[in-house]
Amino acid sequence: MRRRIIGGVELDFERCYRAVDSRDQRFDGWFYTGVTSTGIYCRPSCPAVTPKRRNVRFFPSSAAAQRAGLRACRRCRPDASPGSPQWDVRADVVGRAMRLIADGVVDRDGVPGLAARLGYTERHLHRMLRAELGAGPLSLARAQRAQTARTLIETTGLGLAEIAFAAGFGSVRQFNDTVRAVYGAAPSQLRAGKDAAVGGAGTVTLRLAYRPPLHAAALLDFFARRTLPGVDEVVDGAYRRGLRLPHGPGEATLTPAVGHVAATLRLTDLRDLAPAVARCRRLFDLDADPVAVDDTLADDPALAASVAAEPGVRVPRAVDGFEIAVRAIATQQVSLASARTTLRHLLREAHGEPGNGTLSGFPTAEEVLEVPDSGFRMPAGRRETIRAVARAVAAGEIDLEPGGDRAETVRRLTEIPGIGAWTAGYVAMRTLGDPDTFLPTDLAVRRGAAASGLTDDPRTLDEYAARWRPWRSYAVIRLWRSA
């Protein structure tokens, strides 16, 4: 069996080549196929004729393929494929770095800012990323800027100079050179024949790819039961929510469709396109590998019927970590309906009455700290727990962003009076993307377990759930639906 080492990453050549030969879309985003005879790189499912073995190289990232001098295939659009699921699953430094790069940290703060967020030197971080992905942080960020630029070129009527700076390039010349290198065409050629999107200069429409299957109804049902005025809503099969982005507020409308999720993003500043896309992808868990998850869970007879009936159930994630922490605390020992009533009152105190159809997102930690005691409508202990989390987040002592250290964040959360294993686990699952969190004391989990023929004793159930590793968070969602 032939193997190749790309940037220190071992890719099984035979397995990768079989995926390419069968055009298996499940591998899109896991690796990229470089064709030396044509000078292009593709996603594994590219419909073009399968290249000869001697002309093929495999790369762990699009940035690595670009560093090798290859340009993106215009037919299969490898830059628009789903992201590798391992960057959501992994809790190590490389996984955290990839989530932060996707959120635009390098474009905003440079490599020094990324390294500081992760607690490593720039040199060591560069070495780790090169070893895993065949490219350093600058190359990875450059690949993302190129994709952002292409999206803006094809979906907006902005001038090319405006697009260059909105996509994060330092100059128009750098923008032109990068687009030519990555796509083999000038920006004006990419725009030729494209219709500008309607809805205003700050509106971008695009398709968010995913690995099928996707149980969209489960996602929409989950969010519909938890919507808050002025924050989010489910209307006509679409989920709308306000976004707090680095350069200003925004709004996303996500509509599941066959093979993709249609996204309409309204942005105050188009420099926020990349972080908005990254957050929407996380929100719907679009980079997951549902086949791997379902195969593991279906091995257990207790969940086999659920998997067969509803393949592709995802973990509903978050665009605002602090929001999820507040929601979790407000839900402690009360029903979901009661928690929503409490949170609505808190929102009115922080933001006033919601505007007509306007979604502004959840209050910041600083805004919540300004709310008087009367605005909480909950027991004093719970109110002080929320304030303690708000102070820690505002001071930078707890990191609830996508690049946060999961173990460290859970540890710091549980040090706050009023936060136990359930609350910290819920935050880790939805905010930090932990795929293997289990909530054995959760009442709905216990009811779902009983409905599935399992024990509802928390200790016994926790031991039983070990067979669902490393996908226990997905088992939690299925048990909630069974309940």
The dihedral sign for the CA sequence 105, 109, 112, 113: negative
DSSP class of residue 162 equals H
Contact call for residues 482 and 320 (beta carbons, < 8 A): no
Query: Which of 16, 28, 42, 88 is the catalytic position?
Result: 42
User: Vertex 50, ends 184 and 193: CA angle to 5°?
Assistant: 35
Task: Tell how many helices (H) and how many strands (E) occur in the chain.
Answer: 23, 11
d(CA 248, CA 275): 12
Query: Which of 107, 287, 320, 442 is the catalytic position?
Result: 442
Tokens of 379: 């027991």
Q: Which of 411, 409, 471, 478 is nearest to 442 (CA)?
A: 478
Residue type, 90: R
Contact call for residues 349 and 375 (beta carbons, < 8 A): yes
Whether residue 442 lies in the annotated active site: yes
How far apart, in Å, are the Cα atoms of 180 and each of 46, 65, 79, 194, 408?
21, 15, 14, 18, 43
> Catalytic residue numbers?
42, 442
